[in-house]
Amino acid sequence: MIKAEPTLLVHGERLVEGAMRRQRKTRDDVLAALRSEGLDDLSQAAAVVLKTDRSISVLKALSGRWDGLTGIARRRHAPI
């Protein structure tokens, strides 16, 4: 049984390039997800996550310190 995990594509206004390459997602894919949530650019997102069903979730940035990324690992995945 293969168990998929969410993949962090954006963290702290920065694209996680390696994860994006492995998951075959582009900057345009991320920007489209931001626009669908009413955001204009990466500075308005705390994170962008590729879910196990291949959909993209956007966590909006909030003022002040907040870490809603508990449980989403930033680790290298073995190539398929």
- Enumerate domains of the chain plus CATH numbers: 7-60 (3.30.240.20)
Quote the CA–CA distance of 33 and 64 in Å, as a whole number: 23
Indicate the pTM of the whole model: 0.74
Q: Give the tens place of pLDDT for each residue, 39-79.
A: 999 999 999 999 999 999 999 988 644 455 555 555 554 44
Q: 44-65 b/e with 16+ CB inside 10 Å = b?
A: ebbbbbbeeeeebebbebeeee
Q: Give the tens place of pLDDT for each residue, 4-25.
A: 899 999 998 899 999 999 999 9
Residues 47, 50, 52: CA angle, nearest 5 degrees: 140
